[in-house]
Chain A
Amino acid sequence: MNATDIQAPAQRDTDKGLSKGSVGLLGSVVIGVSCIAPAYTLSAALGPTAAEVGTRLPAIFLVGFLPMLLVAVGYRQLNRAMPDSGTTFTWVSKAFGPWLGWMGGWGLLAATILVLSNLAGVAVDFLYLALAQITGNDAIAELAASVPVNVGTCLAFVAAAAWISYRGMETTKVVQYVLVAFQLLVLLWFSAAAFGHVAAGTAYEGLTVRAEWFNPFGVESFSAFAAGVSLSVFIYWGWDVVLTINEETRGAATTPGRSAIATILVIVTLYMTIALAVLSYSGVSDQGYGMGNEEIQENIFAALAGPVMGPFAILMSIAVLSSSAASLQSTFVSPARTMLAMGYYGALPGKYARVTPRFQSPGYATIAAAVIASGFYAVMRVVSENVLWDTITTLGMMVCFYYGVTALACVWYFRREAFRGVGSFLTKFLAPLLGGILLLVFFVQTSYDSMDPEYGSGSAIGGVGLVFVLGVGILLLGVVMMLLQYRRNPSFFRERFETTELPVLD
């Protein structure tokens, strides 16, 4: 609803905060799909995932969804019981105490900052690619490889997104529908064109779809399996928003369950179609357009759109560019709000809780997120050969960590209510327990494997894999920050803070 709409009925005291219109099934699916930004996530994660699991890519996309679904069930229960702005931070604090809660919040913050810098990096690549395609001058696309140009453009993107977010500007419903429809259209077009090439014998590799691609047990090692699942956790990250949308909306046209299932079907079908299309077209060889080629892996659509879609490749550039630019803006809200909540409860210095009066946005936290994300990207771009790849892998690990901890918090928080019935048992105990354990197992396995300097893109610092240095380094930094905050404001860690805890129904 736009700002000038005056048709909305006058608000009464009795319906405070429920001015949202009801979101129907289609609306929920659009929101869910826009939250996972398929064009961006696939471009960034297809290559690294294929590098780990090869032709078992479709299997991993199917299996990787499971822990995410299990955790999301618990997430929804916590959101109903404690509808708090701090989410993971608040819930884990309530279940396991402030120290673990702080680390959970840190994991969420780290993941959102990582995705911010990665999104901006992908947007930069596609910006120059799109410019090259428009002008017909291939040299422009090479600009993205120049470190100063790349970092400068990336900082400009982050600054622009931060400014929009600081001013509290929002994209409208119409924009969301258009963005999502455009992304889906282009991705399906890409898949159809890729299959067309395979059928006509003009594909790079031209493999036929085989049943074994869907067999997750065919993955060569548990390490590869864990790494693949961590990455697919990243590509599905965000869809669970559909579980909470309709709960906040009175008079919702549809139940959360129905819209969640519809969103899942759309997303899994889409990912499966594209995974199969890319796999059939490219194969997994480490040459040319093969998905095993390290040169093209970290941003696969940038390499494949041209040969697959021909002159229409520009559409793919625009789809990924618009998808990552839109996500960049919506991603700013996430760390800023988490910092706002942590600052509010005294887990971060009070200035993070400052809300800009004019724009009603967490101003200080937004700027802090922009500064950290930009600094992180600039350093990484210099240190790492494949910055996008390494941040995506670290990101997968970080999501596994904080989702895993959140899921276990759900199990512990509801330990008394969970055995009251079959439904409670499944949603408050079994699903989050399984999901949490799975994600934490993948987190530990991936952390362990990433010590190998050859892991992921093969970047290393001091003989240790860069992904390990990043992932474990970020968590250790969190411990240091937590101790600093303990010295500054021990009361948060000593007293239990208050949040709304609703009685558990059903």
Chain B
Amino acid sequence: MTTAGRRYVVGYSGDKRSKDALRLGVALARASRGELELVHVVRTDDPFQPVYPPVGDVTPIIRRQARTRLEEAARTVPSDVVARTHVREHESVAAGLVAAAEELGAGLVVVGAGGGAGRFAVGPVVGALLHSSTVPVALAPRRYRGDAPLTRLYAAVGTRPGAHLVIDEALAAVERSGLELVLISFLSGEDGEDDGAARRAVQEHLERAAAEARRHQPVTVHVAAGRTLKQAVRDVDWVPGGLLLIGSSRLARGRQTFLGTTAARLLKHIPVPMVVVPRPARTEEN
């Protein structure tokens, strides 16, 4: 991972979510002196998608509109942030973004995830991206303003093997950006209500992880407890410039979906943008 000129791919299509994503991209770039690559993926026709009766290919028109929208977007980027624009063609928007991130050597893909009812809604593009991305994916919540500069990084640490991957990623990010680091474990249900053994176990696990991390950076820890996950989320002192880093469920075993049950439910409740870290190519948990 390079330190200077770190690149962030922002998935941009001109809709409201894209603008959320762009604001998050700007905030991230400012926090770590990164550069933005605004990528508009134009979907190409699948030959197995017949058009009856056959008519021409409209992608040239869509490509021209994409270029115009990207130029407009680039003009809204503050002058202290470097932003470049790219129109890419791909069968799927998600795969196009991943391909662009790999090609441009980007360390992160930023997309807008707000839609539907919640602040985050995993639509088809974001869903596919979460299943396929080889780099971390940052999700901008709906109507993300990006007014406050990023100041604090929350890293969600589970008790299952693989938690250290999230911590490693968090340490690298903190080193680049100088954000405060808070390790959080969420504890909900009956265990979250009392100060019993379960809570102590989680606290101990978290302290062990923090002790390891403190060799590199100052770290605070917090066990967010509550009867429900929603209440556990309220137990965290979220700052306006916060960012939550969370591992993909493939860090844990036996699940097909990228987001674990807890992570997916967290999406609904947390008030700050979220970065989902993928499993690395080598399977370390085994």
Is the C-beta of B176 less than 8 angstroms from some C-beta in chain A?
A: no
> Which of A19, A238, A358 is the one whose CB lies under 8 Å from B44?
A19
Is the C-beta of A171 less than 8 angstroms from some C-beta in chain B?
A: yes
Residues of A within 8 A of B59 (CB): 17
Residues of A within 8 A of B98 (CB): 6
Please encode chain B, from 50 to 73, with 1 for each CB lying within 8 Å of some chain A CB and 0 for all others.
111111111111100100010000
Is the C-beta of A310 less than 8 angstroms from some C-beta in chain B?
A: no
Total chain A interface residues with beta-carbon distance under 8 A: 66
B103 touches A12 (CB 8 A): yes
**Residues of B in contact with A, size category:** 35 or more
Which of B52, B61, B62, B93 has the most chain A CB atoms inside 10 A of its CB?
B52
A23 touches B56 (CB 8 A): no
Interface residues of B in 176-221 (CB under 8 A from A): none
B22 to chain A, nearest CB (A): 13
Residues of B within 8 A of A90 (CB): 56
Known: A19-B89, A357-B18. A10 touches B52 (CB 8 A): no
> Which of A6, A21, A344, A358 is the one whose CB lies under 8 Å from B15?
A358
A360 touches B13 (CB 8 A): yes
Give the CA-CA distance A338 to B54 in the complex, in Å: 10
Interface residues of B in 70-113 (CB under 8 A from A): 88-96, 98-100, 102-103
Give the CA-CA distance A176 to B48 in the complex, in Å: 7
Known: A3-B92, A10-B103, A353-B61. A20 touches B44 (CB 8 A): yes
B46 touches A360 (CB 8 A): no
A6 touches B95 (CB 8 A): yes
Interface segment, one of A241-249, A268-276, A417-425: A241-249
> Which of A170, A238, A353 is the one whose CB lies under 8 Å from B53?
A238
Is the C-beta of A168 less than 8 angstroms from some C-beta in chain B?
A: yes
Give the CA-CA distance A79 to B57 in the complex, in Å: 10
Is the C-beta of A31 less than 8 angstroms from some C-beta in chain B?
A: yes
Give the CA-CA distance A176 to B51 in the complex, in Å: 12
Is the C-beta of B42 less than 8 angstroms from some C-beta in chain A?
A: yes
Is the C-beta of A74 less than 8 angstroms from some C-beta in chain B?
A: no
B65 touches A355 (CB 8 A): yes
Interface residues of B in 20-64 (CB under 8 A from A): 42-62
Interface segment, one of A137-145, A328-336, A454-462: A328-336
B113 to chain A, nearest CB (A): 13
Give the CA-CA distance A248 to B45 in the complex, in Å: 10
> Which of B43, B50, B131 is the one whose CB lies under 8 Å from A34?
B50
Please encode chain A, from 296 to 338, with 1 for each CB lying within 8 Å of some chain B CB and 0 for all others.
0000000000000000000000000000000100110110011
Residues of A within 8 A of B51 (CB): 35, 241, 330, 333-334, 337
Is the C-beta of B270 less than 8 angstroms from some C-beta in chain A?
A: no
A1 touches B46 (CB 8 A): yes
B89 touches A357 (CB 8 A): no
Give the CA-CA distance A338 to B52 in the complex, in Å: 12
Give the CA-CA distance A63 to B62 in the complex, in Å: 40
Known: A3-B94, A12-B103. A87 touches B131 (CB 8 A): no
Is the C-beta of B128 less than 8 angstroms from some C-beta in chain A?
A: yes
Q: A: which residues have CB within 8 A of B?
A: 1-6, 8, 10-12, 16-17, 19-21, 23, 27, 30-31, 34-37, 79, 83-87, 90, 108, 111-112, 115, 168, 170-173, 176, 237-238, 240-241, 244-245, 248-249, 327, 330-331, 333-334, 337-338, 340-341, 344, 353, 355, 357-358, 360, 362, 399, 500
The 4 closest A-B pairs by CB, nearest first: A357-B14, A85-B56, A6-B132, A241-B54
> What would be 8 A-B contacts, judged by CB atoms less than 8 Å apart?
A3-B93, A4-B132, A23-B47, A31-B48, A35-B50, A248-B57, A333-B49, A355-B62
